[in-house]
Amino acid sequence: MEFANQLKKYRTEKNLSQEQLAEEIFVTRQTISNWETEKSYPDVHSLMLLSSLFQVSLDQLLKGDIEIRLFRQYHCLFF
C-alpha cells in the first residue's frame, strides 16, 4: 500500500517522531505505527489533517508521486 510509505516519508521529512505526529493530529502513537505498518488505515478526518500538516494533496498522500509511478509503468511496458 502506497499510503504507508508516503506517511513515513512525509513524517521523516518533517523530522517528526510517531509520537509527535500523533499529537499533531490527535491520535495515539500506536495508531501512527499501525498506519505505517499497514495494520489499519486512517479515517477521512485524519487524512485531511495529514494532508494539511504535510502540505500535500490527498492524491499525493495516498498515491505517492504520480509522475514517478507513471514513468515506472511506461518503462516496464516498453523495456
Report field, pTM of the whole predicted structure over 0.85: no
Nearest-10 Cα torsion for 56, 15, 27, 1: 60
Rounded-to-integer distance, Cα 13 and Cα 24, Å:
15
pLDDT the model gives residue 2:
85
Confidence of residue 47 (pLDDT cuts 50, 70, 90): very high
Mean pLDDT rounded to a whole number for the chain: 88
pLDDT of residue 33 exceeding 60: yes
pLDDT of residue 45 exceeding 70: yes
> pLDDT of 2-25, one tens digit each?
899 999 999 999 999 999 999 999
The phi-psi region of residue 19 (left if phi > 0; otherwise alpha if psi is between -120 and 50; otherwise beta) is alpha
